[in-house]
Structure 1
């Protein structure tokens, strides 16, 4: 009976073993980095909507109906890809944070509540960034370019709208309603990140 031949390259087994170990560690790290998001995913939008309501009550005067100056094709948000949903959620939250952290919010907004909303958004954003950074170790794919460009264009339009209306209470009320809708969209997106 012939004796099986030894490996031609004795280091091949150790390289293979190290590769498998690295993949296992990367998977475990990603799972632990993202597992803390699951309970937050379920409540983030609801909590954000409540904080937004507490921050920005309806304006003290009646506002003329603004024509929707900014439009967004919400079908771009339809995805079953959990990484894309997380990346889109992160992008939306970063844009919303930039707008809602403006020092030009109207006087009738409650600053303490607005700060609570911003802190809430920032914590969740940091968790998403951490989760995506760990996932990026394994995958360098990006979300659809047209979605990213559409989000940038839409939120730039909102900032221009505020400027063009001199940061009026009515313009901010429009922004508040748009933010409300985005938190609902985020709820749908984070539903795609729960596995």
Structure 2
């Protein structure tokens, strides 16, 4: 349980850092939405991951790219955006509607959409038209491939309850790994000392 809570807290930090990070003004409302999303992800657990050990899989999260510290600001924001977009897409399928409590799922979708809107504004601030290729190369492409593997896994497992639980845990893990991207962006913005 403590591990799950630490993952949830990391997701809050990634998604809604202090004001000024990501070159954007993050309001108190964004912090509240982030906390709510974390509670929703925790509440969505329907079965214990211990019952699904046979369904575990290494999805090959591109951790070295995400934590390597070699990304430029625009790349880091693009990767974070891609993670949220792919998570939104994953939880916005017909099969996810059958797997999760409808009320919790709809609330999570709304929260992820709000996060994406915020990062869209950030992307607009740091990326011009010449940077539009970022989504088709490097770290952002690696993130797309990672999520494609998750989609294939779900399909191969017939969208079973254990497959969805495995994916829910994986998504939480991957989003928590992006904390280093958030720290890097804060340093770029000169905002490392903010709470």
> Structure 1 residues 124 and 67, CA, compared in 2 at 3 Å: closer, same or farther?
closer
Aligned counterpart, 2:174: 182
> Structure 1 residues 82 and 61, CA, compared in 2 at 3 Å: closer, same or farther?
closer
Normalising by the residue count of structure 1, what TM-score does the alignment of the two structures yield?
A: 0.69
- How many residues get paired? 164
Instruction: Name the SS for the 2:103 alignment partner.
Output: helix
Q: Could you say what the CA RMSD is over the residues aligned between the two structures, in angstroms?
A: 3.2
Q: Which has the higher helix share?
A: 2
Identify unmatched segments of 5+ residues in structure 1. 1-30
Aligned counterpart, 1:17: none
What is the Cα deviation at residue 153 of structure 1? 1.4
Identify unmatched segments of 5+ residues in structure 2. 1-19
Task: After the TM superposition, list the runs of 4 or more consecutive aligned residues in structure 1 that deviate by more than 6 angstroms.
Answer: 40-44
Deviates more, 1:179-188 or 1:126-135: 179-188
Instruction: Name the SS for the 2:163 alignment partner.
Output: helix
The C-alpha deviation readout for 1:32-67, integer Å capped at 9, x for no partner, is: x94323757767665433211112332599324224
Task: Give the structure with higher Rg (CA).
Answer: 1
Instruction: Name the SS for the 2:55 alignment partner.
Output: coil
What is the Cα deviation at residue 70 of structure 1? 1.9
Contact persistence 1:106–1:168 (CA under 8 A): no
Distance 1:146 1:153 in 2: 11
> Structure 1 residues 153 and 51, CA, compared in 2 at 3 Å: closer, same or farther?
same
Distance 2:129 2:49 in 1: 51
Normalising by the residue count of structure 2, what TM-score does the alignment of the two structures yield?
A: 0.69
Distance 1:40 1:86 in 2: 20
Aligned counterpart, 2:8: none
What is the Cα deviation at residue 108 of structure 1? 6.1
